[in-house]
Amino acid sequence: MLFIENFDTNFYYLINNLEGIFMDERIFLAVFLMIFLTIYGAINYYVLFKLSELFQLDRNITFYLILIILIISYLLANFLASSINSMITKAFYYIAATYMGMVFITFCLLLLYDIISLIKPMPGIISGIIVLCLMALLTIYSIINANTMQITTINLKSSKLVKPLNIVQISDVHLGIINGKQFLSRIIEKTNSLNPDIVLITGDLIDGRFKYDPKDFQMLNNFKGDVYFTIGNHETYAGIGVIEDLLKNTKVKMLRNELHKAGDIDKEINIIGIDDSEDALQVRTLLKQISYKKSKYNILMYHRPTGYKDAAAAQIDLMLSGHTHGGQIYPFHYLITLVIRPVSGLHHIIQSKNNQSQNEYSYLYISDGIGTWGPPMRLGTKAELSNIIINPDD
Contacts 24+ apart (CB under 8 A), 188-191: 188/219, 188/220, 188/222, 188/223, 190/149, 190/151, 190/385, 191/223, 191/224, 191/385
Beta bridge partners of 167: 198, 388
Residue (of 310, 323, 307) closest to 366 by Cα position: 323
Q: How deeply is 195 buried, as exposed, middle or buried, from its count of CB atoms within 10 A (0-12, 13-18, 19+)?
A: exposed
Angle at the Cα of 94 (from 89 to 100), degrees rounded to 5? Answer: 125
User: In the prediction, which pLDDT does 393 show?
Assistant: 85
pLDDT in tens, 2-45: 333 343 444 444 444 444 444 455 676 677 788 889 999 999 99
Residue extents of the structural domains in the chain = 2-145, 150-392
Residues lower than pLDDT 50 in the chain: 1-23, 356-357
**150-392, CATH topology level:** Purple Acid Phosphatase; chain A, domain 2 (3.60.21)
User: In the prediction, which pLDDT does 357 show?
Assistant: 46
User: In the prediction, which pLDDT does 312 show?
Assistant: 93
- Per-residue HEC secondary structure of the chain comes to CHHHCCCCCHHHHHHHHHCCCCCCHHHHHHHHHHHHHHHHHHHHHHHHHHHHHHCCCCCCHHHHHHHHHHHHHHHHHHHHHHHCCCHHHHHHHHHHHHHHHHHHHHHHHHHHHHHHHHHCCCCHHHHHHHHHHHHHHHHHHHHHHHCCEEEEEEEEEECCCCCCEEEEEECCCCECCCECHHHHHHHHHHHHCCCCCEEEEECCCECCCCCCCHHHHHHHHHCCCEEEEECCHHHHHHCHHHHHHHHCCCCEEECCCEEEEECCCCCCEEEEEECCCCCCCHHHHHHHHCCCCCCCEEEEEECCCCCHHHHHHCCCCEEEECCCHHHCECCCHHHHCCCCCCCCEEEEEEEEECCCCCEEEEEEEECCCCCCCCCCCCECCCEEEEEEEEEECC
Name, in order, each residue with C-beta under 8 angstroms of 65's C-beta and a sequence gap of 6 or more: none
Scored b (16 or more CB within 10 A) or e, 197-219 reads bbbbbbbbbbbbbbebeeeebee
User: In the prediction, which pLDDT does 266 show?
Assistant: 52
